[in-house]
Structure 1
């Protein structure tokens, strides 16, 4: 007799539903949190303990919000820290509640401590945020708590119950976190490849627009790669036998390789597109990138669903067609176009053979932060450190919000403090985005919640509450404003369940949200605002340093390649991070006040040019294995280019350094020599070094304009 589970697995509709569910990682967190909250709420309500039901549910909610991406052993440590943190925070609020001044001071000081501890590691960051959240939840529920010690116990118990359930589900499938993070990385790369296909063909204006979008998509891809690395390190630290990690390390290295090739540029695309002889090939490349994008997304979904990846036959067909087109054509394509096709072909082979060629004897090393917890904490104990400033801003905002709530006796004024916690972000631009989303989401949640809740019975409101919890978690990382709609409905139902006052508290919730948002805006606007244009000099110099290090690492690979290219991969990652910082400065500048956007056009040009430079560097790195025999031809330019880049950094970081003309002259002289070599030979390195030099000259031109504007 077949078991019910085996019977279900054989049903096509069940397989389709399961695959659809697993394709979105947000659904798993949503269903876990909703299930635990649902069990706790339904059990307590059935025992006629509504206060217990909602408080345990809030504890589970806080536990889910503060969950970290750790190996199961690391998850246990995280859970232990979480329980201690939640208990201390909640008991402290209850004990200090009769003494408002002490509670306000304690809230402000503990906020600074929590935020700085959160900066030590990703594991601490989630736990300390949860500690602050539980403290505020305790403030909200104090007035209706039967006895002072009940809330701390219930909130901590709710978080503990969720943590145990989450740990058990992770133990059932211990490598699911790795699969999820890798899937996010491949999905981000898929979007990048799809956008890049728009460059085939393109004109000069179109290329600028697409490159700007690619720079933003590159931010997502690099962040996804960083998250993969962190989770891999977490597993690596916890496992004595590293063999089970081999497939995931292999996928991670493949993802890095695919990203490097995807980010590569061999020539300006408008120049390639302007040649009528390239029309057919450009169309073929566009289709190739589309198919590669679909294949990459398909592999991401296979990681999530546990199904076997099948490489699309369309890519095999396109590869043969494009290569035959070159082979039998009378008009041979230019060298950059040939190498671009070679690059795409290699990406196709990497993805096609991604389940093969595991080398179980050679596990690549991953970059790790070797500094101690104490060293990381000390690094933040500096007023100029962004996290220290954020901690002080949040602390002051809490103090102001709590003081206003107490002085004016604002109904449900604890929500002022809760709003500040969720809205205030480390930068002005991030806070401004979150502020608008919070107000919009709360308003829509209040209006829709008040209208909808009237239609439901008591049991129906429990179902509505749990549905809202699920949708809150589902949308939390996708669209913050939508998630706020559902958490507002969740709160409305919770107050209805406790005391049938859900509708009554919605007006105070909206008013408190507006007050909290206003306080947040004033604090972030006038307390050490980090206007983006002020960051440009440091970001520019950082970009030059990291790109120089990346170029050195590439040239070292040409000289003496090694089995484990950890140094090269670190240099490459750091160059991308510096590029991302420049991109985000340009994007965030658009949210700064108008008078602080005077360098917006310069920031855009720098973003565009540096991403182009990084693309040429990536191409040079991507061909380091297949063109080593030509290395000696280009290494004679190494010292000249690196010297010019070092001088450029010196010029950027030194006040009153004088004119840039000397550096420009050096670079232009190198450019002329490379141009001659480029025209006289088929050496791709000459072509790429020429493009690198040309773009560097343009970046320095923009830096010169920036310095002049700053002086004026």
Structure 2
């Protein structure tokens, strides 16, 4: 029972955040200086936003950089304020100066909002203490935050990776169960595939997080992580075999009519899903897995596959389920991968500065957006003669997210949570409870709020608003006077953040759909060149397979966000939704072909070359149709590519390639229809895409075309 409590992700996170906040308050209260303890507890908010609680092999180096930036920001805003520099100018310059961190790495980019929040917090302290005291407070607070988190992660060294792996195994269980238990109920891909796409995306996203954690922790150098690395390699094998393509509704229906295959396939899938959920709990709660066998379900499936040799569905399911069962039984991957090849983009400071000065820099746009929003908010505060507009500025920082949809949801939750929290605080302040009781209640509220903050941000905001009002009450004994101004500041900050996300260099996902679709086709081409070429290295094949999965996920994520954005053509998005559906089928076929290639189930060189040429022609036609509204050919991609192919027995690998050509033919038609319904504003006014960087695939294609012309 205690394992489930202490190792549960939400409980572990809530305990860590509550203790790092409340221990300084408790020490200050016991030592008779409660105000210092309350001020000291403000620093972890900056550290959380800066990502300084992320386990990393350079953990202390990041703490030093973060603490230095906090102290520098705190000193700068006080020093310039004393020299009569306007607050809007200070915030604009700081945002643009610190924005260069976004060019170094995504993790360093989080130092920008953390440093700006540290400067905004300092506004509430300016004039109440010497100029050197707030920077010292941030330095000491960052040291306390770092030491506490280092000790916490030392107690549970593997817990961050265990939490992610546990979520990955659960997602794979849900994906397997959803995919194979509804074979005959949902035969329409437009209805059946979207929920499966969402689960597949979550699984690949979690795989990406696991990769990042291993690089951050340098897991290959630590013997404690060997078991988890093996569990991750097992998860990669499972994802390969679960996410292969099975969309053959006609063949499925024939097999179901001849036998009780549907019940047997569902039996196998549910057995695998139950085992994956058990392994997820075992990984999370530090337990050794029990012995696993599924001979009876596999035996029944083998009989069906043997009796229906002319139907590929039974053989397909038995092939993949048997390998999944072997992996789950042995708890060892089918082959060893090179997981620790560091491909993370890192730029030195001078190169990052050069890249940051380009108008194409995403980090520059993000910093400029923050700079303009904070400038406008502080100017508005000066217009209304607000002496210390820290609450409105903090609201802008806390609710601003990368995309439109995330910002809109965060604004709604924060506004409603703040309103409800202020009402509760107004009632509670009239009770005049003793200080010890107030601190105890604040401790409980903080713990409960952190327990639910990941899933229910609005409910957590109610608790945090109550504790913020009581903190002001304990600091200045006038918390009741802040109720209405804080509500107005919150609403103004939310409106400014929402306007900034819409009008200040927005990253509309609808505008990125075409580019992401073009990039995904290029990634598929690279994967097919390796699978149908001479590449036999399983590590390179596995890496390219993951690249194809991630490219499709970027496309699917853009589509999901675009469907929630305002002002875009619903007909265009409907067509692109169908396009993305066929793209998912191609990814599943690439997953299956990667497995076959690793097991040396290949085509003859001449046949593979002809199939590759057909695939490249089909992919290029789809890319051209996405690029511009030019005259298109009505030639069927599949017929044009396979006109002279042999008429002998079709192998399983050929079947996958032919189905890929089928999907590309449909995608070409959809692209022609979708272009006419595209949005007619913003980047869509450009009829052509920007020239993509030259890839290995394009070089290979040009070389072959040149030799053919010669």
Please indicate, yes or no, whether the TM-score normalized by the shorter chain is above 0.5. yes
Taking a change above 3 Å as real, the CA distance of residues 70 and 157 of structure 1, as seen in their structure-2 partners, is same
Tell me the CA shift for residue 630 of structure 1: 4.9
Distance 1:494 1:288, change over 3 A: farther
Paired residue secondary structure (1:504): helix
Match of 2:636, SS? helix
Q: Distance in 1 between matches of 2:18 and 2:52?
A: 18
CA displacement, residues 33-74 of structure 1 (integer Å, 9 cap, x when unaligned): 211222210111223323212111111333244344765642
How far is 1:99 from its partner? 5.1
Unaligned runs of at least 5 residues, structure 2: 681-710
Q: How many residues align?
A: 678
Q: Which of residues 641, 649, 653 is equivalent to 2:614?
A: 641
User: Which range moved further: 132-141 or 145-154?
Assistant: 145-154
Tell me the residue number matched to 2:398. 422
Matches within 5 A, 1:446-525: 446-452=422-428, 456-525=433-502
- Asked whether 1:92 is paired with 2:71, we answer no
Question: CA separation of 1:203/1:673 partners in 2, compared to 1, >3 Å: closer, same or farther?
Answer: farther
When structure 1 is superposed on structure 2, of 195-204 and 458-467 the one drifting more is: 195-204
Question: 1:656: how far off?
Answer: 5.1
Name which of 192, 195, 198 aligns with 1:216: 198
1:691 partnered with 2:666? no
Q: Distance in 1 between matches of 2:340 and 2:419?
A: 50
Q: 2:689 matched to 1:707? A: no
Q: Report the CA distance shift for 1:449/1:203 in structure 2 as closer, same or farther (over 3 A).
A: same
Aligned-partner Cα distance in 2 for 1:610–1:642: 14
Residues 64, 162 of structure 1: 8 Å contact kept: no
Query: Which deviates more, 539-548 or 58-67?
Result: 58-67
Deviation per residue, 1:125-176 (Å, 9 max, x gap): 3433322222222223336x34333333223322321210111222334333
Counterparts of 1:358 and 1:276 in 2: how far apart (Å)? 34
Counterpart position of 1:57 = 41
- Aligned counterparts, 1:579-594, within 5 A: 579-594=552-567
The 3 A distance-change label for structure 1 pair 100 and 405 is farther
> Aligned pair in 2 of structure 1 residues 38, 561: CA closer, same or farther (>3 Å)?
same
- 2:638 matches 1:670: no
Counterpart Cα distance in 2 of 1:233 and 1:610: 30
TM superposition shift of 1:386:
3.2
8 Å CA contact 1:428, 1:524 repeated in 2: yes
Contact 1:336–1:684 (8 Å) recurs in 2: no
Shift of 1:420: 1.0
Question: Which range is displaced more, 129-138 or 64-73?
Answer: 64-73
Q: 1:607 to 1:711 in 2, by over 3 A?
A: closer
Alignment partner of 1:408 is 2:393:
no
1:32 to 5, 8, 16: 16
Any idea what the Cα deviations from partners look like across 1:263-303, whole Å, max 9, x if unmatched?
11133346514654366222322333233233223222222
SS in 2 for 1:294: helix
- Equivalent in the alignment of 2:689: none
Per-residue displacement from partner, 1:406-431 (whole Å, max 9, x unpaired)? 22124763211111112222332332
Separation in structure 2 between the aligned mates of residue 133 and residue 278 of structure 1, nearest angstrom: 66
Which sits farther off after the overlay, 43-52 or 90-99? Answer: 90-99
- What is the CA deviation profile of residues 95-145 of structure 1, one whole-angstrom value per residue up to 9, with x for unaligned ones? 2334564432221222233333034224423433322222222223336x3
* Alpha-carbon distance between aligned partners in 2 of 1:121 and 1:225, rounded to the nearest angstrom: 19
Kindly tell me: are residues 320 and 476 of structure 1, through their superposed partners in 2, closer, same or farther at Cα, counting changes over 3 Å? Answer: same
Contact 1:72 1:170 in 2 (8 A): no
Give, in whole Å, the separation in 2 of the partners of 1:68 and 1:222.
25
Corresponding residue of 1:13: none
1:182 is matched with 165
Whether 1:437 aligns to 2:413 is: yes
1:622 to 595, 599, 611: 595
- Length-normalised TM-score, structure 1: 0.87
Map residues 1-400 of structure 1 onto 2, 5 A cutoff. 16-22=1-7, 24-68=8-52, 73-98=57-82, 101-142=85-126, 145-205=128-188, 207-236=189-218, 241=221, 244-269=224-249, 271-273=251-253, 275-277=255-257, 280-310=260-290, 312-313=292-293, 315-327=294-306, 329=307, 331-332=308-309, 334-354=311-331, 364-369=339-344, 371-374=346-349, 375-376=351-352, 378-400=354-376
State whether residues 602 and 653 of structure 2, in contact with CA within 8 Å, keep that contact through their aligned partners in structure 1.
no
| Secondary structure in structure 2 of the residue aligned to 1:681 | coil
Which secondary structure state, in structure 1, belongs to the residue aligned with residue 99 of structure 2?
A: helix
**In structure 2, what is the Cα distance between the partners aligned to 1:184 and 1:41?**
34
Query: Where do 5+ consecutive residues of structure 1 fail to align?
Result: 1-15
Deviations 1:537-588 (A, max 9, x none): 21221111011112223334xx4522xx333233222222221222122211
Residues 69, 493 of structure 1: alpha-carbon distance in 2 compared, 3 angstrom cutoff: closer
CA separation of 1:368/1:102 partners in 2, compared to 1, >3 Å: closer, same or farther? same
RMSD between aligned residues: 3.0
**1:506–1:235 Cα change, 3 Å:** same
User: Which residue in 2 is equivalent to 1:555?
Assistant: 532
| 3-state SS in 2 of match to 1:624 | helix
Relative to the length of structure 2, the TM-score reads 0.87
Contact 1:38 1:466 in 2 (8 A): yes
Residues 408, 208 of structure 1: alpha-carbon distance in 2 compared, 3 angstrom cutoff: same
- After alignment, is 405-414 or 299-308 more displaced? 405-414
